[in-house]
A = this chain, B = another copy of it.
Amino acid sequence: MNVEKTTGEILRESREKKGLLLRQVAALLDIDTAILSKVERGERKATKEQIIKLADILDLRKDELLIHYLSEKIAYELLDEDVASQTLKVAEQRVKYLKAHRR
């Protein structure tokens, strides 16, 4: 997983590679061009639903894009914590525990 590119960069590159305009993709997402522009430049975050649609529109692997997007979101949430790495390790254990003990 490429951790050096932002989700926005991936989206922009993919869109340009397909020769699509912001306007066109935004229309498919049913949002204003301005938002998509901001998403691609990292000024705004997309919603999960938009990411899923974008994967479809841009022929990207849905799971990969989702992991990219979610991990970026979480990384930014924790970036200012100096316990960030430990938190993520514990979070992994928690997820494992919670999924096993699903009520």
Which A84-102 residues sit within 8 Å CB-CB of chain B? 84-99
- Chain copies in the assembly? 2
Flag if A95 contacts B84 (CB, 8 Å). yes
B-chain residues with CB within 8 Å of residue A98 when the two chains form the complex: 75-76, 79
Residues of A in contact with B, size category: 20 to 34
Complex-state Cα separation, A93 to B5, whole angstroms: 12
Q: Point out the residue from B67, B74, B99 that lies within 8 Å of A74, measured CB to CB.
A: B74
A positions within 8 Å CB-CB of B:
1, 3-4, 63, 66-68, 70-72, 74-79, 81, 83-99
Interchain residue pairs A-B with the least CB separation, the first 6? A75-B94, A71-B90, A71-B91, A74-B91, A70-B87, A3-B93
